[in-house]
Amino acid sequence: MTRFEELGIKKSILDGLRDINFQETFPIQAAAIPVLLSGQDVIGQAHTGTGKTAAFSLPILQNIIPKGGIQVLILAPTRELAIQISGEMNKFAKYTGIRNVTIYGGQSINVQFRDLEKGVEIVVATPGRLIDHLKRGSIELNDVKYVVLDEADTMLDMGFIDDIKFILDLVPEERVTSLFSATIPAEILRLAEKYMRSPQQILIDADDLSGEGIDQAFLVIRDREKTDFLFKFIKENKNGQTIVFCSTKDRTRRVAHELAKANFNVVSIQGDLSQFRRDKSMYLFKKGKADILVATDVAARGIDVPEVALVINYDVPNQDLVYFHRIGRTARAGGKGRAITLVSYSSIGDFQTIARQTKVKMTDLNKQLGIEVKIPDPLKRETGQRRRGYDSGRRYGSGRRDGGGRRYGGRSSYGKNYYGLKSRW
């Protein structure tokens, strides 16, 4: 392992790292820091929890000067991630005299005006609110020497690509640009080709979406049974905090309410909450004053809490990458953790797609707990409906949806997918 002092990091930064017990580098840090210190652009690929923030922050803190105006711009897709980056940089910069400000929607813009007036060297921002400031003239990018695009693939997924191009066109061409992402899709490479200068690609575990280090398990049950098993698994978790991921805001509210009613110490984050309440929930969870966080995927990229021992997917995500970002909230920085996915009958097909990407063996909790999977036979249901005169000539299952809006019948969930799942596991 490489130690930070071996990379030529100056004493004021090393003192801040020592305070938080950062001594040895992670692979992305050991690879990226020397390149960025030399002034070369970087495309860095590494999964969540592997130390990307320090990888881009430390070279920046090394090379900028206090009271020199805004010299650094860091773009992040969500307010939670922007706040997290700012908090980490404050720890690294504790003895340097370098200040940063977090710019994001949902917080009063007047608060941000006051912070900017005090003088900062680093702006950490979400794209939309940054553009508001640029149009108002409260932030100027004329002296920016370093630009970081963090979680670039998520910004792409969230539709920020045009905003990013607008912002980068306002930054001086003579700059060091780094782009960090868990995945590197083609559009990000096209963005890099236009706005970066011969970037060095640093790819750490580029093809590893296995979730290694995480004990992954699944339980196939009826949707109405999920809450009981959620309570069971949380009670069994004695090693740290729990994050419960839900797919919708309504589901998040309901699950958090059920947990609170059962006297669990729970907070939640979802899009309809005010920024104050979201910040408060995150603060309580990070400080260990809440045992459980219930969240939508808005939080999947913005939580770095070392004590998270268990992630429960109350709903199966509709993309495999979302699954890996969710479970990556546990086993941070090389630790161990557990992830349990509650698979409703209508979500078996989606979960099978995710499971194909997972290289580690998943624990089948149905077998372990002796719970039989009883999937309704769509052909029998079709016959029954025809007998009752409900058949309108349309093939059953081709467009019909259950209460959750998912298709059922035919091959879409109960046919080919289910039997494929059964044979696989």
DSSP 233-301: HHHH--SSEEEEE-SSHHHHHHHHHHHHHTT--EEEE-TTS-HHHHHHHHHHHHTTS-SEEEE-GGGTT
Residue range 112-124, pLDDT digits in tens:
999 999 999 999 9
**Do 144 and 264 belong to one domain?**
no
**Do 218 and 195 belong to one domain?**
no
Estimate to the nearest angstrom the gap between the alpha carbon of 404 and the chain centroid: 24
Residue 31 has pLDDT above 70, yes or no: yes
Instruction: Supply the pTM of this predicted model.
Output: 0.64
Cβ(199)–Cβ(43) under 8 Å? Answer: yes
Sign of CA dihedral 169, 170, 176, 182: negative
Residue 391 has pLDDT above 50, yes or no: no
CATH of the domain at 39: 3.40.50.300
Where in the sequence is the domain holding 93, given as residue range(s)? 4-203
Please give the helix or strand (H or E) that residue 214 lies within, else none.
Answer: strand 214-220
In this prediction, residue 300 carries a pLDDT of 55
Q: Under DSSP, is residue 206 helix (H, G, I), strand (E, B) or coil?
A: coil
Domain-located, residue 56: yes
Region 176-182: what's the mean pLDDT? Answer: 90
What's the pLDDT band for 377 if we cut at 50, 70, 90?
Answer: low
Cβ(293)–Cβ(242) under 8 Å? Answer: yes
In this prediction, residue 148 carries a pLDDT of 97
Q: Which of 142, 176, 203 is the last residue of a domain?
A: 203
Q: Which positions ≥6 away from 196 have C-beta within 8 Å? A: 41, 43, 177, 179
Q: Using CA atoms, how far apart are residues 31 and 25, in angstroms rounded to an integer?
A: 9
Residue 353 has pLDDT above 50, yes or no: yes
Q: Using CA atoms, how far apart are residues 419 and 425, in angstroms rounded to an integer?
A: 10
| 269: phi then psi, degrees, rounded to nearest 5 | -135, 125
In this prediction, residue 384 carries a pLDDT of 42
Range in 9-18, 196-205, 223-232, 338-347 with the lowest mean pLDDT:
196-205
Q: Count of alpha carbons within 13 Å of 20, Cβ hemisphere only?
A: 16
What's the pLDDT band for 376 if we cut at 50, 70, 90?
Answer: low
Strand partners, 171: none
Range in 119-133, 180-194, 399-413 with the lowest mean pLDDT:
399-413
Domain-located, residue 59: yes
The DSSP code for 43 is E
**Do 386 and 327 belong to one domain?**
no
In this prediction, residue 392 carries a pLDDT of 35
**Do 362 and 282 belong to one domain?**
yes
**Do 145 and 197 belong to one domain?**
yes
In this prediction, residue 411 carries a pLDDT of 33
Domain-located, residue 331: yes
Of 24-28, 241-245, 385-389, 415-419, give the range with the top mean pLDDT: 241-245
Q: Among residues of the chain, what percentage have pLDDT more than 70?
A: 82
Region 14-22: what's the mean pLDDT? Answer: 94
**Do 148 and 226 belong to one domain?**
no
**Do 29 and 50 belong to one domain?**
yes
In this prediction, residue 183 carries a pLDDT of 74
Domain-located, residue 421: no
Give the residue with greater pLDDT, 373 vs 148.
148
* Closest among 72, 324, 84 to 177, alpha carbons compared: 72
Residue range 247-261, pLDDT digits in tens:
888 999 999 999 999
In this prediction, residue 312 carries a pLDDT of 96
What is the number of structural domains in the chain?
A: 3
What's the pLDDT band for 154 if we cut at 50, 70, 90?
Answer: confident
Report the side by side order of strands in the sheet with 146-150: 100-103, 122-125, 72-75, 146-150, 176-181, 42-45, 200-203
167: tokens are 């912002």
Residue 406 CA: distances (Å) to CA of 217, 348, 400, 401: 23, 11, 8, 5
Q: Residues, the chain, total?
A: 425
Report the side by side order of strands in the sheet with 292-295: 266-269, 292-295, 241-245, 308-313, 337-343, 214-220, 363-364
Region 184-197: what's the mean pLDDT? Answer: 88
Q: Among residues of the chain, what percentage have pLDDT more than 90?
A: 56
Residue range 287-336, pLDDT digits in tens:
889 999 999 876 555 566 767 889 999 999 877 777 887 887 786 655 67
Region 11-34: what's the mean pLDDT? Answer: 93
**Do 388 and 343 belong to one domain?**
no
In this prediction, residue 210 carries a pLDDT of 52
**Do 409 and 387 belong to one domain?**
yes
**Do 166 and 199 belong to one domain?**
yes
Domain-located, residue 420: no
Q: Using CA atoms, how far apart are residues 164 and 158, in angstroms rounded to an integer?
A: 12
Q: Under DSSP, is residue 74 helix (H, G, I), strand (E, B) or coil?
A: strand
The DSSP code for 93 is T
In this prediction, residue 393 carries a pLDDT of 36
Q: Count of alpha carbons within 13 Å of 371, Cβ hemisphere only?
A: 15
Residue 414 has pLDDT above 50, yes or no: no
**Do 280 and 188 belong to one domain?**
no
Domain-located, residue 418: no
State the average pLDDT for the chain.
83
Strands in 274-424 per DSSP E: 292-295, 308-313, 337-343, 363-364
**Do 222 and 188 belong to one domain?**
no
Residue 98 CA: distances (Å) to CA of 20, 64, 287: 18, 8, 25
Domain-located, residue 314: yes
Residue 378 has pLDDT above 50, yes or no: no
Q: Under DSSP, is residue 9 helix (H, G, I), strand (E, B) or coil?
A: coil
Residue range 33-78, pLDDT digits in tens:
999 999 999 999 876 667 889 999 999 999 999 999 999 999 999 8
